[in-house]
């Protein structure tokens, strides 16, 4: 579902977080696969934008 939304946006990047199972959906947009936990990534994003 979210991959379809990302596909509809010209400048979207679809990011998948999962432990040992980061699989790419059928997406034509740029896709980033992360084998890990999303919590540290979101904490870093918040830290950089404060």
Going from N- to C-terminal start, the domains of the chain cover 2-48
8 Å CB contact between 25 and 12: no
8 Å CB contact between 28 and 6: no
pLDDT of residue 34: 78
| 39/19 Cα distance (integer angstroms) | 12
Angle (CA) 29-16-43 rounded to 5° is 115
pLDDT per residue as tens digits for the range 2-47: 777 777 888 887 777 777 766 666 656 677 777 888 888 888 888 8
pLDDT of residue 19: 73
8 Å CB contact between 40 and 48: no
φ, ψ of residue 16 in degrees (nearest 5) = -115, 125
């Amino acid at each position: 579902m979210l991959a379809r939304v990302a596909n509809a946006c010209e400048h979207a990047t679809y990011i998948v977080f999962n432990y040992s199972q980061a699989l790419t959906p059928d997406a034509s947009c740029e896709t980033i696969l992360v084998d890990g936990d999303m919590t540290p990534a979101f904490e870093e994003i918040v830290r950089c934008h404060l």
